[in-house]
Homo-oligomer: A and B are copies of this chain.
Amino acid sequence: MLQLRKSLYRILEISAGKRRGISFIFNLVLISIITLNAIAIVLHTVPEYNQRFARLFYDFELFSVIFFTIEYILRLWVCVENDKYRHWFWGRVRYMVSGSALIDFLAIFPFYFSLFATDLAIVRILRLFRIFRLFRISRYSHAFRLIQSVVAEKKEELVLSTILVIFMLIIVSSVMYYVEHPAQPDKFSSIPATMWWGVSAMTTVGYGDIHPITPLGKLLGGIAAIMGIGLFALPTGILVSGFNEHIRVQKKPKITYCPHCGKEISASPN
């Protein structure tokens, strides 16, 4: 029994068994099912497909939920093999509240809940939750983890850039509201309404449903658009320096020789 648990753990956790036999095949199957799920969720909303393949969609949903449920239970059973969750009870509880287990749970929970839900609105929202299954894929790529760690390292600067964007958005929109409201009281009706223009101008989306018409408003709109260029530059600068630092850290420690005695020194990595 314990032997079986150990084997299962190796199969379920790709980092434990590297690209070998069953574990690799299992993960391929898992990724395929998740991808098919995403496609099903997207196509499910197209009326003609929904009518024609209603049965297929339902069956595939049922199959997916059963598959994911069994997988979830097995993962819960074998997680104690991991040193982080060694205790038979508290280890499993701690595993259940870990990020990846929560995503796994959110991917199956809506189905079971919707069986008991009578309110259609809630069922609709729960159906949306199935999209969380997509996040499960992110665990399987090395490069994804690189990007993730760069983003994590630069979290403070990126959050700040976002706050800065919101700051500038509020200020630009407030000024624009006072400038353009008298000319277009129906479009620039309030600061929150003007912020919809602001976000579309500063991110250079420019839907065209709302734009200034007064000369002063156009001048301000132009300045906002040019400021928007800077907004693109800031997160790029932050991420680039993040990537550069990461690459430098990854490099092997260089071996130098002491100029005094000539012996080898394993230099401290930069």
Q: Which residues of A contact B (CB under 8 A)?
A: 38, 41-47, 124-125, 128, 131, 134, 137-138, 141-144, 146-147, 150, 156-158, 160-162, 164-165, 167, 170-171, 173-175, 177-178, 189-193, 195-196, 199-201, 203-209, 211, 215, 218, 221-222, 225-226, 228-245, 247, 254, 256, 258-261, 263, 265, 267-270
Chain B residue nearest in CB terms to A194: B45
Residues of B within 8 A of A242 (CB): 237
Residues of B within 8 A of A175 (CB): 128, 131
In the complex, the answer to whether B178 meets A124 with C-beta atoms within 8 Å is yes
In the complex, the answer to whether A239 meets B229 with C-beta atoms within 8 Å is no
Checking B44, B203, B209, B218 against A225 with a beta-carbon cut-off of 8 angstroms, the contacting residue is B203
With A195-B222, A208-B208, A240-B243 given, can you name 14 additional A-B contacts, CB distance below 8 Å? A41-B191, A43-B192, A131-B174, A143-B156, A146-B157, A147-B234, A200-B225, A203-B204, A229-B235, A236-B239, A238-B243, A245-B247, A256-B265, A265-B265
